[in-house]
Amino acid sequence: MDDSVSLTGTGLHLAFGSNKVLRGVDVHVDAGKTVTVIGPSGSGKSTLLRVLNRLHEPDAGDILLDGRSVLADNPDRLRQRIGMVFQHFNLFPHRTVADNIALGPRKLKKLSKEAARRLALEQLELVGLAHKADSRPGNLSGGQQQRVAIARALAMQPQVMFFDEATSALDPELVKGVLALMADLSTTGMTMVVVTHEMGFARSVSDSVLFMDRGVVVESGAPEQMFDNPETPRLQTFLSEVL
């Protein structure tokens, strides 16, 4: 990608009532790089992604794409620039795989039916599923469905991709293919933020790792540093439990 953008969040705070879920989070992803976010359940990882694409408005802090604050823009515009892939892929069961992908570009980018279909087939080719274009999602494996969900996000031509535990709901034997696709994508110059429990992926694919606990970034750095020489007791404990 030649139009890669950087993504920055500074001093992000968010509370749900009295529950302070983000308490001053800073995150930066250089253009075309991949940052993984690790940390215990409930530490605020998903909320951080949702604040970064303004599904929740931060109580304080700023969000910058390509060095420019996006908080004054229409949130829909930001969401069109950021593709998101979740644990549960939520494909429409009664539509074909190709239609699932073509829907967004038709509605939001006003592509003709034919152009959207061409785009869908191109994206399916990239995720290795062109032969499934006219199948229903229910006839695909979970791993294939997640690859379709990734193709659906990419069809909107986002500048940044977020993944929130994209492989957590998959049977173990299907995880590899999805992680391989994410790893491929990370080498194309896509700017990515990946929340994951897959420490192998965090270590081998990401340019840097953020460890969150209780709404703050406790430690961050290059993967080798984080995994081989964790500095804080909290990261040491976390890694001893998950590795």
Interface with ligand ADP (CB under 6 A): 16, 19, 21, 39, 41-47
User: Residue 223's binding partner, choosing from Mg ion, ligand ADP, none, with beta-carbon cut-off 5 to 8 A by kind?
Assistant: none
**What is the nearest approach in angstroms of Mg ion to the Cβ of residue 163?**
11
Binding status of residue 46 toward Mg ion by CB under 5 A: yes
Closer residue to Mg ion in complex, CB, 43/144: 43
Token pair 């690790």: residue? 38
Closer residue to ligand ADP in complex, CB, 37/133: 37
CA 203, CA 192: separation in Å to the nearest integer?
15
**What is the nearest approach in angstroms of Mg ion to the Cβ of residue 46?**
3
**What is the nearest approach in angstroms of ligand ADP to the Cβ of residue 158?**
21
- Quick one: the chain helix, strand, coil %, rounded to 5? 40, 25, 35
User: Residue 178's binding partner, choosing from Mg ion, ligand ADP, none, with beta-carbon cut-off 5 to 8 A by kind?
Assistant: none
224 burial via Cβ count (<10 Å: 0-12, 13-18, 19+)? exposed
How many CB atoms are located within 10 Å of the residue 171 CB?
10
**What is the nearest approach in angstroms of ligand ADP to the Cβ of residue 16?**
3
Closer residue to ligand ADP in complex, CB, 14/124: 14
User: Residue 186's binding partner, choosing from Mg ion, ligand ADP, none, with beta-carbon cut-off 5 to 8 A by kind?
Assistant: none
**Residues near 88 by beta carbon (within 8 Å), at least 6 away in sequence:** 169
Angle between helices 142-155 and 97-108 (to 10 degrees): 20
Contact 111, 122 (CB under 8 A): no
Chain residues in the site for Mg ion (CB under 5 A): 45-46
